[in-house]
């Protein structure tokens, strides 16, 4: 941070965590080895943006530079990705059951009403309100319920039924109360 090190060379993984004042960032090559696939894959745009974000930190510099060195056939791909502003959508629905089970096991959510409120603290809720069609919410439904309370309640009830069927929780639909089971607590504790 005193400026003694003029050049830092690191892997993409390390670049995610570097919080040093850098004026310029150079990404030399956009192919990274993916062990799961057993082959090289293109560096994702989120990785590129995160690494470029290290350049020109406002508290250290007035501006920064980001340079990407890639093959000619990938150049237009990265230019397009860097100049487009596509919103990032939430993927939370895919793991809503696991997360609700964890909240019930912790005791922070004990009923449908608390679960509906809990969802309102998530990025999913932010994106559902900003772009309801992506999440299967019609324009008419959104107009009738702009806070999406009914939609959130329906999501919680569906997930509650699934967790109850899987014996992770006990869901008393009549009262709306959740209670954790040994299986649910174990699954939550060990991330199963």
**Predicted confidence (pLDDT) per residue in 157-184, tens digit:** 999 999 999 999 999 999 999 999 999 9
**Predicted confidence (pLDDT) per residue in 65-112, tens digit:** 999 999 999 988 888 888 887 678 999 999 999 999 999 999 999 999
* Whether residue 16 is found in the same domain as residue 65: yes
Q: Which of 83, 102, 130 is the last residue of a domain?
A: 83
Q: Which domain holds residue 146?
A: 92-190
* Whether residue 114 is found in the same domain as residue 160: yes
Q: What predicted TM-score, i.e. pTM, was given to this entire model?
A: 0.64
Task: Report the CATH number that the domain containing residue 178 is assigned in CATH.
Answer: 1.10.10.10
The token pair that represents 173 in the structure block: 């639909």
The token pair that represents 50 in the structure block: 């995160």
Strand pairing report for 177-180 and 169-172: antiparallel
Q: Which of 62, 83, 104 is the last residue of a domain?
A: 83
DSSP, collapsed to helix, strand or coil, labels residue 28 as strand
Does 5 reside within a domain? no
Confidence band for 1, pLDDT divided at 50, 70 and 90: low
* Whether residue 55 is found in the same domain as residue 129: no
Does 7 reside within a domain? no
Contact in structure between 157 and 170 (CB atoms under 8 Å) = no
Does 6 reside within a domain? no
* Whether residue 176 is found in the same domain as residue 151: yes
CB neighbour class for 57 (10 Å; exposed up to 12, middle 13-18, buried from 19): middle
Please give the tally of structural domains in the chain.
Answer: 2
**Predicted confidence (pLDDT) per residue in 123-149, tens digit:** 999 999 999 999 999 999 999 999 999
40: Cβ contacts below 8 Å, ≥ 6 apart:
31, 32, 33, 34
DSSP, collapsed to helix, strand or coil, labels residue 134 as helix
Please measure the distance between the N-terminal and C-terminal CA atoms of the chain and give it in whole angstroms: 42
* Whether residue 103 is found in the same domain as residue 163: yes
* Whether residue 181 is found in the same domain as residue 102: yes
Contact in structure between 31 and 68 (CB atoms under 8 Å) = no
Backbone phi, psi, residue 28, to 5°: -95, 95
Strand pairing report for 31-34 and 177-180: unpaired
């Amino acid at each position: 941070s005193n400026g003694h090190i003029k050049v830092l060379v690191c892997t993409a993984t390390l670049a995610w965590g570097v919080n040093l004042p850098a004026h310029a960032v150079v990404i030399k090559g956009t192919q990274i080895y993916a062990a799961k696939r057993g082959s090289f894959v293109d560096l994702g745009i989120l990785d590129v943006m995160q690494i470029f974000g290290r350049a020109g930190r406002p508290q250290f510099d007035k501006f920064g530079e980001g340079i990407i060195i890639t093959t000619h056939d990938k150049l237009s791909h990265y230019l397009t990705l860097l100049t487009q502003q596509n919103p990032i959508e939430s993927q939370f629905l895919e793991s809503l059951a696991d997360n609700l089970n964890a909240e019930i096991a912790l005791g922070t959510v004990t009923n449908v009403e608390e679960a509906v409120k809990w969802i309102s603290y998530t990025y999913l809720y932010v994106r559902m309100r900003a772009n309801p069609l992506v999440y299967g919410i019609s324009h008419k439904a959104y107009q009738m319920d702009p806070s999406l309370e009914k939609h959130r309640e329906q999501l919680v009830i569906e997930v509650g039924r699934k967790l109850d069927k899987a014996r992770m929780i006990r869901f008393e639909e009549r009262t709306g109360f959740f209670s954790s089971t040994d299986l649910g607590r174990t699954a939550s504790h060990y991330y199963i």
